[in-house]
Amino acid sequence: MIVNYLESLIILSAILSLLTMGLNVRWGWAGEFDLAYYAIVAFGAYFGGVLQLPHSHEPTGLGWILGLNLPFVVGLLGGAVIGGVTSLLVGAFALKSLRGDYLSIATVAFALVTWAFLSQLPGLFNGFNGVYGMQQPFADVFKNLDAQTYALILFAVCVVILVIVYVFLEMMYKSPFGRTLRAIREDEFASAAFGRDVYRCKLKAYIIGGVVAGIGGVLFANYLGQWNPYTWAPIETFLLYGAIFIGGQGNSRGVIIGSVILLVLIPEVTRFMPQVPGKPDLFPALRSMASAVLVILVLRYRPQGLLPEVHPRDAGDRAPAPTAQTAGSAANV
């Protein structure tokens, strides 16, 4: 029982860390304070689900589109593509002329409209009922396995994908493109003056974050076995930002640590507290309060996060100190 519980925690930690790393590319690297992120996660979850699910047989007016009954890998790739394409469409308009607060307002409006749109169209993704019945990954390959074995397969899939995405993002972070994004984050006008295409670089970061969000959404839907408007809301994006604040903006390892602390450990610790008679909502409220207090304390006393972003100078790229010989040579010039 304890092993199953720990497996579930690690699966959830891996999925939430993926989601936060995708947002970190947008905000931690490129400085895009985007509030539509969880809508991209939802698109990935919905489309990844309907690619895997069979055709819906619910009454007229209800159900979901597609229902192609394809393997999990196709659903995962489909969610990644949808996340990237949706991000391209949103970013192409929002990033072209909007900056700062205006970008945030436009993206949160998109997220709210998306939530209402998907909720009120029952023929698209089954309205408030959502899509449900997603099988465990590779259920078509490994047949007649028990639930515990399937949980182990999902555990392995989530951890492997987390490692692959982490390594990919670390390589990109250290690449010239990653350095350009961070330069744009610090001063986009100076970057533009040095010939950087600010709009194109920001759009690329927006799309990369969307692809990671789509992958995380598919994994989340498969983990839950369903996805509906009650599963997600635009407010969830703020929790991911809180995890970035705690872990460290721009640092993938810090983001993973922040996700585990804020999104997994705090909810789990408060869940095991004894119930107070007559106050069933006390500990959910305390959970939210504890998360908010933790974010405030980190912002006040360690604004760089638990693992600050590593800059080149922090890694030992300073010029070597002059030796006595070179100092004497310079004095003789």
Alpha-carbon distance of 263 to 16, in angstroms, equals 7
Environment class of 173 (CB within 10 Å of its CB; exposed 0-12, middle 13-18, buried 19+): buried
From the centroid of its chain, how far is CA 31? 15
pLDDT the model gives residue 121: 85
State the pLDDT at residue 203.
94
d(CA 205, CA 43) in angstroms, rounded, equals 18
9-20 pLDDT tens trace: 999 999 999 999
Number of neighbouring beta carbons within 10 Å of residue 45:
33
DSSP β-bridge partners for residue 227: 131
Task: Give me the chain's average pLDDT, please.
Answer: 85
pLDDT number for residue 201? 93
Give residue 27's pLDDT: 93
Asked whether residue 279 carries a pLDDT value surpassing 80, the answer given is: no
User: pLDDT band at residue 5, thresholds of 50, 70 and 90?
Assistant: confident
pLDDT tens sequence across 164-219: 999 999 999 999 999 999 999 988 888 888 888 899 999 999 999 999 999 999 99
Q: How many CB atoms lie within 10 A of CB 2?
A: 6
**Residues 154, 223 contacting (CB under 8 angstroms):** yes
Four-residue CA torsion sign, 150, 62, 36, 174 = positive
44: confidence class by pLDDT, cuts 50, 70, 90: very high
- The model's confidence at residue 59, banded by pLDDT at 50, 70 and 90, is low
Of the listed ranges 33-37, 64-68, 307-311, the one predicted with least confidence:
307-311
Phi, psi dihedrals of residue 110, rounded to the nearest 5°: -60, -40
pLDDT grade for 312, boundaries at 50, 70 and 90:
low
Q: Which residue has the higher pLDDT, 121 or 258?
A: 258
Residue 275 has pLDDT above 80, yes or no: no
pLDDT-derived band at 319, boundaries 50, 70, 90: very low
Predicted pLDDT at 60: 64
- Lowest average pLDDT, out of 103-107, 284-288, 305-309, goes to 284-288
Q: Does pTM top 0.75 for this prediction?
A: yes
Q: What single DSSP character describes residue 64?
A: B
- Supply the Cα-derived Rg of the chain in whole angstroms: 22
Residue 232 in this model has a pLDDT that exceeds 50 = yes
Q: How far apart are alpha carbons 175 and 141 in whole angstroms?
A: 38
Rounded to whole angstroms, the Cα distance separating 140 from 153 reads 13
More confident residue, 316 or 309: 309
Tell me the per-residue pLDDT of 70-88, one tens digit each, with 9 for 90 and over. 999 999 999 999 999 999 9
Better-scored residue on pLDDT, 310 or 178: 178
Place of tokens 């006390």: 282
Q: Where does the pLDDT of residue 329 fall: very low under 50, low under 70, confident under 90, or very high at 90 and above? A: very low
Q: Check pLDDT > 70 for residue 326.
A: no
CA atoms of 46 and 125, how far apart (whole Å): 7
Let me know: does 232 contact 42? Beta carbons within 8 Å: yes
Burial grade of 108 (CB within 10 A; 0-12, 13-18, 19 or more):
middle
- Six token digits for residue 68: 């192609």
Looking at the DSSP bridge assignments, the partners of residue 64 are 125
- Adjacent-strand bridge partners of 132: 226
Which has more pLDDT, 125 or 62? Answer: 125
**Beta-carbon-side half-sphere exposure of residue 262 (alpha carbons within 13 Å):** 34
